[in-house]
Amino acid sequence: MSLWAEHIGGIEESFTRPESLECMRQVRHIGQKNWDQFFSSHVTKIKGHGGLDRVEALGSPCHRS
C-alpha cells in the first residue's frame, strides 16, 4: 500500500484489489486528473506523481512478446 500512497498520493479502498475494474478505473481517473493538471496553463498542486502510461495486459491483442 505504501507504493500506492507514494505514486497516487493516497490510499483508496479499491487498491486492496488491484486486479479489479474498480481499482483500474480509480487509478486511471487519478492519472487523468494529474495529466490534465500537468498540462494546464494554471499552476496547481498535483496529488502524487502518478500519470497516464500506456498499459497492455498479457493476452490482450496489443501485447507483444
pLDDT tens digit sequence for 13-59:
888 898 999 988 988 888 888 888 888 888 877 777 665 555 555 55
What is the per-residue pLDDT for 32? Answer: 86
Q: Residue 1 above 50 pLDDT? A: yes
- The amino acid occupying position 42 is H
- The amino acid occupying position 51 is G
pTM of the entire predicted model: 0.63
Q: Are 44 and 37 in contact (CB under 8 A)?
A: yes
In whole angstroms, what is the distance from residue 56 CA to residue 26 CA?
A: 17
Query: What are the Cα distances from residue 21, in Å, to 26, 27, 40, 47?
Result: 9, 10, 28, 22
Q: Are 23 and 14 in contact (CB under 8 A)?
A: yes
Q: Using 50, 70 and 90 to split pLDDT, how confident is the model at 65?
A: very low
